């Protein structure tokens, strides 16, 4: 792994020396796509790291939004758990009022409202993480959805045993976005038990992003944008050890 890290650092230094790099897509959040393209990472894979065993994550310097660790759909007694959750407990979509969306954050410390009528909280058990659903009066009404630790452990240790966090600056000029890659920190995952403890403390949270395609051939169809396990940048040192910087 040391050799892969050294190669990655050299590639990053070359990219950094190039200054502002034109975005590949018009998407204003395409800094990571540019990065993967420059490093010849190939197509993004939800299960495996981007570059030679190292996951790459690009964020803007001033952005304090939580960092997405990985996506994982909950299990349960339904064919499509996220669509079931959306249809049963969601709220009217902004565009299609007759359809339901489900977007919001949950953690293990407090009951968080998503929409007007239902609240959600995570419960950490011995072998799985359970999503508790509460009615308007905070009475628990459902706990069918869950994540098994065995699968979460496999996903975490495969995807994020090593990861590089790259800080970027973005500017917009003449209809195009440009990215400057300022610095990079490379981390190593501590332990899955630490991950579980951070879930218990509410430091690692889960974000649901269920809505509908707004354009294209699938316009109006249900779209699960991913169920994300997230952590704030300030808490990264609780889950990872810093290896080196560039």
pLDDT score at 34: 77
Query: How many domains is the chain partitioned into structurally?
Result: 1
Q: Distance between CA 199 and CA 34 in Å, rounded?
A: 32
The answer to whether residue 23 sits within a structural domain is yes
Domain containing 17 equals 2-71+154-191+233-245
Q: In what helix (H) or strand (E) does residue 140 lie, and over which residues does it extend?
A: strand 140-142
The answer to whether residue 102 sits within a structural domain is no
pLDDT score at 234: 93
| CATH at 28 | 3.40.210.20
Q: Distance between CA 90 and CA 113 in Å, rounded?
A: 11
Q: In what helix (H) or strand (E) does residue 148 lie, and over which residues does it extend?
A: strand 146-148
pLDDT score at 32: 78
Is the torsion defined by CA of 225, 228, 233, 234 positive or negative?
positive
Torsion from C-alpha of 101, 107, 111, 116, nearest 10 degrees: -20
Per-residue pLDDT tens for 139-169?
Answer: 999 999 999 999 999 999 999 999 999 999 9
For the cut 70, the answer to whether the pLDDT of residue 12 exceeds it is yes
Q: Are 58 and 36 in contact (CB under 8 A)?
A: no
Per-residue pLDDT tens for 53-103?
Answer: 999 998 887 767 799 999 999 999 999 999 999 999 999 999 988 999 999
Task: Burial-class residue 195 by CB neighbours within 10 Å (0-12, 13-18, 19+).
Answer: buried
Q: Please, which residues bridge with residue 209 across strands?
A: 103
The answer to whether residue 91 sits within a structural domain is no
Torsion from C-alpha of 41, 238, 29, 112, nearest 10 degrees: 130
Per-residue pLDDT tens for 17-42?
Answer: 989 988 876 666 667 777 777 777 65
């Amino acid at each position: 792994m040391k050799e892969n890290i050294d190669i990655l650092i050299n590639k990053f230094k070359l990219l950094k020396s190039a200054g502002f790099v034109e975005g590949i897509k018009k998407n204003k959040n395409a800094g990571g796509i540019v990065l993967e393209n420059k490093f010849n990472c190939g197509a993004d894979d939800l299960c495996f790291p981007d570059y030679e065993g190292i996951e790459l994550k690009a964020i803007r310097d001033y952005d304090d939004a939580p960092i997405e660790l990985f996506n994982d759909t909950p299990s349960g007694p339904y064919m499509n758990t996220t669509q079931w959750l959306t249809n049963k407990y969601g709220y009217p979509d902004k565009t299609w009022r007759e359809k339901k969306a489900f977007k919001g954050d949950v953690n293990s410390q407090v009951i968080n409202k998503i929409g007007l009528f239902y609240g959600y909280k995570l419960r950490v058990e011995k072998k799985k993480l359970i999503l508790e659903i509460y009615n308007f009066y905070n009475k628990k009404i459902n706990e069918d959805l869950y994540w098994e630790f065995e699968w979460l452990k496999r996903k975490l240790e495969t995807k994020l045993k090593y990861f590089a966090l790259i800080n970027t600056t973005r500017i917009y000029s003449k209809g195009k976005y440009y990215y400057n890659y300022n610095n990079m920190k490379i981390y190593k995952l501590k332990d899955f038990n630490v991950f579980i403890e951070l879930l218990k403390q509410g430091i690692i949270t889960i974000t649901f992003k269920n809505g509908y395609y707004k354009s294209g051939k699938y316009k109006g169809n249900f779209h699960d944008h991913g169920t994300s396990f997230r952590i704030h940048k300030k808490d990264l040192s609780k889950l990872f050890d810093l290896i080196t910087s560039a």
